[in-house]
Each structure stands twice: as C-alpha cells, then as structure tokens.
A and B are shown apart, each in its own frame.
Chain A
Amino acid sequence: MAKFITIGERIHCISPVIREAMNTQNPEPILKRAKEQIDAGATYLDVNIGPAESNGVELMQWAVKLLQENFDNVPLALDTANRKAIEAGIQVYNRAKGKPIVNSADAGDRIENIDLAAANDAIVIALCSKAGVPADNDERMAYCQELLERGMEHGMEPTDMLFDPLFLVIKGMQDKQMDVLEAIKMLTDMGLRTTGGLSNVSNGMPKHIRPIMDSAMVAMAMMNGLSSAIVNPCDLRLMETIKSFDIIKDNDLYADSYLEI
C-alpha cells in the first residue's frame, strides 16, 4: 500500500495574512507557511486563492511557480472556484514530484472539474455530494457512482480520483460520524482512493482538544482505508498519529527514528 498522503491546508485565503500576501503578491508569508508545512511532513500543499474572479489566472500561476521553484517542485492541490485559474496553474505546474490535484469537483455544478482534470492528466478530489451534506450513504454512493462514471467516460484512471465522503463537524452532527467512516470503507473496498477535510471534524472545539479529536478520527478513518486527507500538518499529534499508522499498516518501513523523518 502507498503511504498516507497529507495535503497541507494552511495556504488558504481565509487566513488574513495569506489573503493580504496574495493581494499584494508578497512571497514571504506564503513561503513561510509552505516551509512550515513541508518541514512538518506535508506531501502536497493546498493552494487556495479564493474565488479570485478577476485575477485568478495570474495569481494561481504566480503562486504555483513561487512554491515549486522554492521547494523543489513540491506537488500542489489547486484550490479555487475559478476553473480558468486551475487550468492556468496546471500549465505552469512541474510534475516531477507528482501530478497536480484539482480541488475540487462534486456531483453538482462543479462536475466539470472532472473533465478538466481528465483533459490535463491531473488528480481530482471528487466530493460525494451535490448541494450540501448527503443525507445517508446511499446518497453518497449514488454521487460516487455518478462522479466515477463521469471520470471513466473521460478516460480517467479511477485511482486518479480522490473521493471525499465529506467529514462532518462533531459539534452538531455527532450521530453522522460512523456513516462517514462506513462510506470510507465502502469506497476503499471498491478499490477507490479517498480524501477529505479532516479538520472539519473538530471545528468549533477548544484549541487543545482539536489535535486529540483529529488524531482519533484520522486513525479510525485510516483503519477503514482513508488514503489521504487535507490537514494542518503543523499539528504534531496528528502527524505522529499518521506516521505511526503508516508503520502499523506497513505503508512505510519502520526505523527507530521514524517520527523524525
């Protein structure tokens, strides 16, 4: 089995520092956060430039080049609602360390992002939802089928699709957590790869609780086959849990210093 893939979520325009840096195209804060995440063990970095309706193309190309040139072609997930910006980002993207990820498509009006990924030999995150949260796993799997068929019609390898069952916030949807885990198992049993925004689980919880809750969730989800997640790699407890799990699952060869590498 391949090692668990962590997608670092901290370059996100919802953060005021990053939003400001993107507005002024100031590299420093972005490079700083990128370095922190890579040092902490992130495989991919998510680059969320926001809706960026007017300057998306230029901004995404700038961000992709900035990050890849400074960090040995670190692989990236291109995250925006602006489809043209994603395409533009892929044009300047270097694949030496892995294909770009399109973040994201769903079974609703973002389904065309699958076509985009297929046309550009990219990986796509496919949200098992149409509008809002799916009611149950039957609905999730129906969306999954729709997304999968779309991808295969356009010639994608099923393994180039990362299915996102939608992690749900515990404070409010505690009774739905086992559904999400079951969905991961079902997707995995079908031979599909999975991902998701893990931090959503602990949203709204006190700061010192979040690493504990996220770690427990990631371990349970990995047990069910979760193959990647969008996470905060600077959460040490979470990363230690993931690394330990990769050892137990025989995804990574054990060495006494495994936590340090």
Chain B
Amino acid sequence: MALKGLDIFKLTPKTNCKECGNPTCMAFAMKVAQGAIPLEKCPHMGADVIAKLSEATAPPMKVIEVGAGNNAHKLGGETVLFRHEKTLVNKNLFATKLCSCMDDAKIDELLAGVKHVDYERIGERMYCEFLSLDYADNGVDKYVALVKKAMEADRALILNVECPECAKAALEVCKDAKPILNGANASNYEEMNKVATEAGVVLGVKGANLSELFDTVTALEAAGNKNLILDVTGATIKETFANAVQVRRSCLKENNRTFGYPSIVNLTKLCAGDERMQSALASVFTLKYGSIIVMDSMSYAQALPLYGLRQNIFTDPQKPMKVAPGIYPMNGADENAPCMITVDFALTYFVVSGEVERSQKPINFLITDAGGYSVLTAWAAGKLSASSIAKFFEEQDIAGKIKNRTLIIPGKVAVLKGEIEDKLPGWNIVVGTNEAIQIPKFLKDANF
C-alpha cells in the first residue's frame, strides 16, 4: 500500500512527544510501516486504533473454504489484479446448473454430462467442480429431492435459495457436505444468516446493485459473519462484468475489505441456452475475477479451451508448467517406431507434439526431466545433457521397451550429438529441426 506509513500517521496523536523514542510521530509511523518497531511503542494509541491497524495489515481478500472431503475447495485470497504482478493463488471453478423445475430425465442427462467430462491435463484434474441448484418456488420437497439427487454426484454444491425455510430443509440433508448457501439479499439476510451460521456453511450474498451489496455485506459482517461469497451477477452482461471488476479492484486497490470475498458469476441468468456465448463469457470471467462461474452445462468442446485457459492463467509465473517424463507413443507408434526426445516444459511439449501429430508419422515421443525449462534454457542450465538423457533412458528402460534404434534430438542442441552417441552406443542419433513448425516436413522427408 502506497500510503501505509501515512495511514498510520493519521492515527497517531501527532504531538511529537518523543516518548516512543522517535523525534516525530511521522518518523514513528514510518518505522511501524516498515515493521521496524511495534505499534504498541506509542503509549498514546488506544486499543481501538491498534485493532483497526492490525486488521488493516491483514490481506484484504479472504480465503473461503467450501465443500468437504474430495470436494473441498479454496476460493479467493488473491493479492494482485494481474498475474504478472505476483501470482494468482486460487483458480476459478465451474458449476453446472440444475433446477427443481427440471424433470428427472433432464437432471439425469445433465448429471451424466458432468460425470462425462473428467480428465487430466498436465497433472491437473479437469472437471466441473460444482452443481448449482436453483429453487423454482415449486415446493420444499421437490428441492430437497433435487439436493438428494445432486449429493450422489460427488460434487460440491451451491444452493440457490432465497427462502429461509427451504434453505433450512435443504441444509438438513447436505450441511455436512459444506455447500454454499447462495441466498442472502437486502431483505432476507438476517434470517439467512441464521440458517447459514447454524449449519456452518458459507453464505452467498446478492444485491440489486453494488451499493446494496455493500450494505448487506456490512450488515452481515457486523452480525459476525465473515464466511461469505458475493454473487455479482447483475441484470445484464455489462453490469455483471462491471460488478466483478469493481468488487475485486476496490478490494485490492482501495483496500475495501467489505468486498474482500470471492465472487459467483451466474451465466445461466445472462444468456441461458446460448452455449457459445457462455463459452465466451466464461473466458472473460476466468481472466476478470469470477471465482465460481455457473453454466448450463460443461461439454468437452467448452471444457477443453476453458480449462486450458484457466491452467495457463493460474500458473505461477515463476514456476513453469511441466509434463510428466516418459514415453508418449503418437500416431499409433509401436516398438518399431523411431524415438524423438524433448524437454518437459509444457509449452514445448504441446507445440512439438502438435506438429508431430500433424506429420501423421508414428513416433515414440520421449519427454525427459529438464526442470520444466525450454530446450535451450535447459541445455544452458545443464538439465538437458548427454548424461541426463542417458540416465532417462536407463530409468525408463527405453532400450528394452523400444526396438527401433533411431533417436531424434532437438536441432537447437545439435552439439550434444557426439556425446549422446558415446553414452548410448548402438543408437543412431539424428539431429532434428530448430523449430517445431518444420517437423512435419522433416518427418515426411526422412526415412528411419
């Protein structure tokens, strides 16, 4: 915070009494801001001021935990608005909507869809983490039945209920699964707060606009509830985007702690039925501050780019994404296909494997442990060398698993050819291309 020293100074008595051992209150405030001396050194500061300041030095956006067991998730806790500033902490999650207005066939179809899209990409499980259950005011029993059905799907739950009785009944069934009760608004928050607190679950808060949301959150915090999530969905797409950005920005830039909670963006209220538009918006809100994005469904077509995007955005800029070392047979390669080796940097893997696929030539694609660096960086750091490759061959028993004795190495490390030949006798070491884009032509022209 730019004005932290100044903020502390404003709370000092400004008498320059020197009792703290500093010549002026300003010098004192400055040292406190640096962490050089504790606030308590000033004998004239009241307990309320100290409490205010210690809260002011806590991170502005809270981490909220939802779900239980396999379906426990952390949301929020961000400290920056852009990933290059530091790193984003907790990735956004996705929800599929179910409604008590849907018939069993529809619900089964949607649940099957949720179950179907569940895969791994670079060590990360990709699936729809939440079911968001809408209450259509058609009877508490119907809703409880929906909750029971959803419980069997092994996902975290969001209960979209604004009726306290219905919420209570639903929570009796599912409170141990720690769902989000997304139902507090300006008129019902007192009752909903009671229901959520008794069940020990996170309470979702809505408002007709940001001022109303701000007031309701303020009132809930005053009542002692700081286990909240903010549903920033507005009447229009434009309004929702404005809400999501302003809530996060005002929290992180203006230190507005009232908005220091994760957000829910409900696309099913903004463009129901328009799957492509939901894809586009889910992309926007992945970048701009949606913590949970609720959609009509999540097909493979949507999941592949959206989860890929999310994985990109939430990588630590300091830590490259790595692919597991091993043999990746491509284009139907068997033990007679030649080998091609590269590093475990995810981007290298994707680009090179894409081009190999395009060549349609069977290749045993080998990924060696190179610390997640690109080819040249790994080579310069000694993580891609003749001995590291030899060690990899031994550990993975490449010679035992593959009969072909041709190994294509990246063109950028052509210098390693001789050393590899020494370390891997019997192998024909071929220098590949400098750039991935040249691979299809290279493989088509060659004969191994």
- By a beta-carbon cutoff of 8 Å, the part of chain A in contact with chain B is 138, 141-142, 144-145, 148-149, 158-159, 186, 189-192
Contacts and interface: CB of A to CB of B under 8 A. Distances in A.
B299 interface: no
A190 B26 contact: yes
B14 interface: yes
24 contacts: A138-B23, A141-B23, A141-B24, A141-B26, A141-B27, A142-B16, A144-B26, A145-B14, A145-B25, A145-B26, A149-B14, A158-B6, A186-B26, A186-B27, A189-B5, A190-B3, A190-B6, A190-B9, A190-B29, A190-B30, A190-B33, A191-B3, A191-B5, A192-B6
Contacts of B2: 159, 191
Given A190-B3, A190-B5, A190-B29, 20 more contacts: A138-B23, A138-B27, A141-B27, A142-B16, A142-B24, A145-B25, A148-B6, A158-B3, A159-B2, A186-B27, A186-B30, A189-B5, A189-B33, A189-B34, A190-B6, A190-B9, A190-B30, A190-B33, A191-B2, A192-B6
B194 interface: no
Query: Which of A138, A148, A190 has the most C-beta atoms of chain B within 10 angstroms of its own C-beta?
Result: A190
Contact of B4 (A141, A148, A191): A191
A127 B398 CA distance: 74
A149 B25 CA distance: 13
The SS class assigned to the B binding surface is helix
A145 B4 contact: no
B5 A138 contact: no
A227 to B, nearest CB: 11
Contacts of A159: 2
A190 B5 CA distance: 4
Contacts of A145: 14, 24-26
B16 to A, nearest CB: 7
Nearest to A1: B2
A134 to B, nearest CB: 13
Contacts of A190: 3, 5-6, 9, 26, 29-30, 33
A218 to B, nearest CB: 22
Nearest to A152: B10
B24 A191 contact: no
A158 B3 CA distance: 9
Nearest to B10: A152
A227 B2 CA distance: 13
Interface in B281-314: none
